[in-house]
Amino acid sequence: MAHADSHSHPHAQSHSHVPSRETESGALKAALALIVAFMVVEVTAGILASSLALLSDAAHMLTDAVALAMSLAAARLAARPAGGALTYGLGRAEILSAQANGLTLLVLSVLIVIDGVRRLISPPVVHAKPVLIVALAGIVVNLAVAAIMARGSGKHRSLNFEGSYRHIITDLYGFIATAAAAGVILATGFERADALASLIIAGLLLTSAYGLLMSSGRVFMEAAPAGLDPEQIGRTLASQPGVVEVHDLHVWEVTSGFAALSAHVVVKAGDDCHERRRALRQVVDDRFGIDHTTLQVDHDAAPQAPLQIEVPERE
């Protein structure tokens, strides 16, 4: 006889190691306000100073603002209860947001590379002093935003929050590169430093885009969460007392911090399958941090006595 058991959670935020969406949303709102205010200042300064590096940072800050807004919207959708056809709820709205953030970083980096190469060939006059002032101010603002987001996320971030956080961090590095370029121009007059700084910024954007697209792609392809080896999990389950065989093992990630597992387990004939199932579920939770499990448990077929046929003796 087969027995199935599910230990379910309607939302990813029910897991203790994932920060609450309320905490992350508060940090996102504060970060969005700072980013939008400074972006207006930076666009104005970039146009007046004719600095591609500064305008590149401003464009990235625009994507920061969009990313933060998308993250807030996705978090609200993901917080809705599961129901109807959406048995897992809208948790993957956050993964869609992370993937969109990765795509915007990718597109923006390509555009910056194209314009940066053009300006390397024919560099415009760059007014380095206002660029330096704005870039230094940008470093301060982005440090403040990064600190707010770091406090609001804790040790473990949702992928949705991580997408916005990477925007902020790459923007911080971009401001550092822009300030360095402005300093070089002031000291040496080497105006191609501005274009070189924009190419460095593009490289940072590409790195962040790759990480976000790979992470969100793993979730959509229903791969096992990073750091979890299904073969190791299977071997661990198969080594438990009373377990004869484990097959049809599946491990996937519903959304950030919400891993799920299902498997078919065969236990020894005569064993208490309910107790075996509870023990196996506890092993998966304790050793691998997966507390959403669905286990179908069957008894091993009991050995049957050989069929004996009596043949009457002939008289």
284-299: per-residue pLDDT in tens? 999 999 989 999 999 8
Instruction: Give residue for tokens 């415009």.
Output: 124
The domains located in the chain, with CATH, are 19-220 (1.20.1510.10), 225-299 (3.30.70.1350)
Distance CA 272, CA 269 (A): 9
Contact between 106 and 233 under an 8 Å Cβ cutoff? The reply is: no
- Report the pLDDT value the prediction gives residue 250, as an integer from 0 to 100: 94
Spatial neighbors of 28 by CB under 8 A, at least 6 apart, are 68, 71, 72, 75, 149, 152, 161, 164
- The pLDDT score that the predictor gives to residue 248 is 92
Give the per-residue pLDDT at 12: 39
pLDDT of residue 109: 87
Say what the pTM is. 0.71
Predicted pLDDT at 205 = 84
Report mean pLDDT in 10-residue bins for the chain, 315 residues. 49 44 77 84 78 70 79 79 78 85 86 88 82 85 85 69 80 85 90 87 87 89 90 94 92 87 92 90 93 90 58 58
